[in-house]
Amino acid sequence: MKKIISIIVAVMLIAGSLSACSDKQNSDNKQDSQSVSNNSGTKKLKIVTTIFPEYDWVRTIVGENADQLDLTMLLDNGVDLHSYQPSIDDILKISTCDMFIYVGGESDKWVDDALAQATNKDMVVIDLLDILGDKVKNEEIVEGMEHEHEHEDEDHDHEEDHDHDEDHEHEEELDEHVWLSLNNAGIICDKITESLKKLDSANADLYQSNLNAYKEKLSSLDAQYKTAVNESVVKTLLFGDRFPFRYMTDDYGLSYYAAFTGCSAETEASFETVIFLAGKIDEYNLKSILTIEGSDKKIAETIRNNTNTKDQKILTLNSMQGITSTDISNGVTYLSVMTDNLNILKDALN
C-alpha cells in the first residue's frame, strides 16, 4: 500500500509541475483550486477531514471566518468509514493540506502511508483516538452478539482454548465511534481550536469565542440526555443491527444487546441470535427495537416476529456514518443529529 501511494503522489506532483508553466501564462485570469485566496488576499487554510462530525466541528469553530477556509470532507457520498479507500484526488488533498483530521484505528490504516508521502511537512495532524487516549474503548462483545470468532475451534482442548483466547485478546479492535459521545466531542473541539489558533493566530479570539459557545450547547444537550435517562423506567436498549453507540450508552449508564459489533460487516443474523434477542425483548418488556441509519430493518423485523407480542416499534438512531454533502447543504449538523437521537432515545426508553 505504501509503495502504491508513493507512486500516486509522485505522478501527481510531476503532472502538476509540467502543467505549471502553462498555468502561469494565464495566472492573471485563473486561480489554482489548491491555493484559493480570500477577499483580503491571504491564502486560505486548507483543512481535510475524513468524516462528517470532524467537518462540522471545524466549520462551527471557524464560524463567520469561513472565507478563510478551504474545507474538505472525504467521505461525502455516504461511504462507510470501515470500507472507505482514498482516491488519487483524496491523497493529493491530504498531501498538500494545512490540517488533516481523521479518526484513527483499524479503518484508517491507509492514513500512515498517505501522511508519509505528504509534501507539506508542517501539516497539523489530528488523530481522534490519539487525542482521547485512555477514553478510547475496545469493541465489546456482549451476551448474544455475533462475532467472527464465535464458532471457531469449538473442539480444542483446554490448553489450546487458552492459547486461542490469548491470541484473540491481541486482536481486539478499538471502538472507533468516539464522536457519538458529547463529552468526547468537547475534548476533540478543544484540540481543533488549539490547532486553528496556531495556524491562524490573527483570528484566535474568534475561534475561542466560537468554541466556548459551542461547548455550552454540547453541555446543554448532554444534560438533556442525562435527564431523559434518569426519568426513564427502561435502562436497556436492544439493536437488531450493528451497535456503534457504546460511547453514548456508557456515558449515560445504559445497558444494551445487539446483533453485531459496531464495526461488523455482517448483514444476516443467525437463528440463535434472533431468538436470543427476541427473548430479551420479552424478558425486559421492551417496546422498541433499534437500528442504525441505512438499515433495511429485516433483522429487526425478524426479531419482532419472534417476540410474544410482536408489536414493538422499530426506531433508528443515526451514527453519522452516512451523512452526505447534500445532507449538509440541507442544514444537517452534529448537534441536530444528536438532538434527533435524543428524541429517538426518549421514545425507546419510554
* Domain ranges (residues) in the chain: 2-130
Mean pLDDT in consecutive groups of 10 residues from the start of the chain, 350 residues? 46 40 36 41 87 97 91 87 88 96 94 92 96 95 76 43 43 89 98 97 97 98 98 96 96 96 77 97 97 95 98 97 94 98 96
Q: What pLDDT score was predicted for residue 268?
A: 85
Q: What is the pTM of this model?
A: 0.84
Q: Give residue 91's identity as a one-letter amino acid code.
A: I
Q: What pLDDT score was predicted for residue 162?
A: 43
The top-level CATH class assigned to 2-130 is alpha beta
Q: What pLDDT score was predicted for residue 171?
A: 60
Q: What pLDDT score was predicted for residue 77?
A: 80
CB 2 within 8 A of CB 9: no
Closest CA to 215 of 127, 46, 334, 51: 334
In whole angstroms, how large is the CA radius of gyration of the chain?
23
Q: What pLDDT score was predicted for residue 187?
A: 98
Read off φ and ψ for residue 29, nearest 5 degrees.
-110, -15
Q: What pLDDT score was predicted for residue 253?
A: 97
Q: What are 48's strand-pairing partners? A: 72, 100
Q: What pLDDT score was predicted for residue 350?
A: 85
Q: What pLDDT score was predicted for residue 79?
A: 78
Q: Give residue 37's identity as a one-letter amino acid code.
A: S
Q: What pLDDT score was predicted for residue 25?
A: 36
Q: Distance between terminal CA atoms of the chain? A: 49
CA angle 309, 310, 314 (to 5 degrees): 125
